[in-house]
């Protein structure tokens, strides 16, 4: 590998967003005298009578959850966007605003309050993938919905308000900024080459073998060349699929298996329930075909040096652009060499 990439300050280009990140590998040698905290224990019961996501419990709006045995979804009682608002615009000189409508849903992964994705069975995660597919199709088919964002915030430091295993879906009329940028870059590449941008990128990564974390017949988990967060990772399907709705039954299980393998490695890194924001980027649901889109799932974990030392976007990163010390190759090597058996079960 180039000495520049391993020892010298350099910038790396994000092919999906058209943005750059500053990498400073020489800084990994500096001593750490910053903030540390005690690692919190994360032992929870299988059922919590005070949890508004557990089966048969009453939520804040008075509705009672069914006695669900697998997955469960419902419209968020406190959604950030709603469908029944008046559609208006505001234009006063340089002040501009437009109303937004949509639906926010909560996706319960399991009735077991004590679990997280790495502790769930592959069958259990496959049921989550099936629910994601169904929600993407049903929400995306609505006339007012042009984008469906599936995501999970894991851990209280990621703003997760409830430890019960769950994620969210925000379906809205506009296409958010990150997917909008990725649509533009993928479309430009597809128009120029007639091929998937991520398909060609994945081929190059598989040849390099420097940033691969785990793989199976249908999916590859890797640390992207342009990763911002210390142990950021991406799952890419080997086939050029624009959305998860195109996955076959066997590919649903493969997707579940690679999610489990990667999240176990996350937990094993510092032997803690590893926090992250994870989400699926896929084709908008605006009625267009979007052959340029190659869906992928990204994970952005904040932990840096241990279970208690976190990465923050401060200083130069807030006013300039993102910067990292641990290179993507270092992070991938650390994750790749970890067991796919959860530390609590080994």
**Residues near 36 by beta carbon (within 8 Å), at least 6 away in sequence:** 306, 308, 309
One-character DSSP codes across 211-271: SEEEE-SSEEEE--TT--STT-EEEEESS--SSGGG--HHHHHHHHHHHHHHHHHHHHHHT
Annotated catalytic, 166? Answer: yes
Rounded to whole angstroms, how far apart are CA atoms 175 and 283? 10
Check if the beta carbon of residue 341 is closer than 8 Å to that of residue 267: no
CA nearest neighbour of 314 among 25, 20, 29, 34: 34
CA nearest neighbour of 174 among 102, 106, 103, 104: 102
In angstroms, the Cα distances linking 253 to 67, 83, 109, 242, 270 are 25, 33, 15, 18, 27
Rounded to whole angstroms, how far apart are CA atoms 299 and 277? 6
**Angle, nearest 10°, between helix axes 249-270 and 122-140?**
120
User: CA gyration radius for the chain?
Assistant: 21
Q: Which helix (H) or strand (E) holds 130?
A: helix 122-140
Rounded to whole angstroms, how far apart are CA atoms 334 and 346? 18
Rounded to whole angstroms, how far apart are CA atoms 149 and 172? 8
Q: Which two tokens stand for residue 249?
A: 């039954």
Strands 233-237 and 296-300: antiparallel
Q: What is the 3-state secondary structure (H, E, C) of 13-33?
A: EECCCCEEEEECHHHHHCCCC
Q: Strands (DSSP E) along 25-71, which ranges?
A: none
Residue of 166, 281, 290, 296 with catalytic role:
166
Q: Which residues are catalytic?
A: 166
């Amino acid at each position: 590998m180039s000495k520049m990439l391993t020892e010298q300050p350099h910038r790396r280009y994000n092919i999906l967003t058209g943005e750059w990140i500053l990498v400073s590998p020489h800084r990994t040698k500096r001593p750490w005298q910053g903030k540390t905290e005690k690692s919190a224990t994360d032992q929870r019961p299988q059922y919590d009578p005070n949890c508004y996501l557990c089966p048969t419990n009453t939520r804040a709006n008075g509705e009672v959850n069914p006695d669900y045995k697998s997955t469960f979804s419902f419209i968020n009682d406190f959604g950030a966007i709603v469908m029944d608002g008046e559609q208006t615009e505001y234009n006063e000189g340089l002040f501009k605003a437009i109303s937004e409508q949509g639906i926010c849903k909560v996706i319960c992964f399991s009735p077991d309050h004590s679990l997280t994705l790495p502790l769930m069975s592959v069958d259990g995660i496959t049921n989550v993938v099936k629910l994601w597919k169904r929600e993407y199709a049903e929400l995306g088919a609505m006339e007012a919905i042009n984008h469906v964002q599936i995501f999970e915030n894991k851990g209280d430091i990621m703003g997760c308000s409830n430890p019960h295993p769950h994620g969210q879906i925000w379906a809205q009329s506009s296409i958010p900024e990150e997917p909008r940028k990725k649509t533009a870059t993928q479309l430009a590449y597809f128009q120029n080459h007639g091929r998937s941008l991520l398909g060609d990128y994945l081929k190059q990564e598989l040849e390099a073998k420097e940033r691969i974390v785990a793989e199976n017949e249908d999916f590859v988990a890797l640390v992207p060349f342009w990763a911002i967060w210390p142990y950021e990772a991406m799952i890419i399907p080997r086939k050029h699929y624009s959305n998860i709705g195109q996955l076959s039954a066997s590919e649903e299980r493969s997707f579940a298996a690679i999610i489990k393998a990667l999240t176990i490695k996350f937990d094993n890194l510092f032997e803690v329930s590893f926090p992250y924001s994870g989400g699926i980027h896929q084709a908008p649901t605006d009625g267009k075909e979007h052959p340029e889109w190659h869906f992928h799932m990204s994970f952005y974990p904040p932990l840096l040096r241990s279970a208690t030392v976190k990465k923050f976007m401060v200083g130069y990163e807030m006013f300039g652009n993102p910067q990292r010390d641990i290179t993507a190759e270092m992070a991938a090597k650390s994750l790749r060499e970890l067991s796919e058996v959860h530390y609590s079960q080994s």
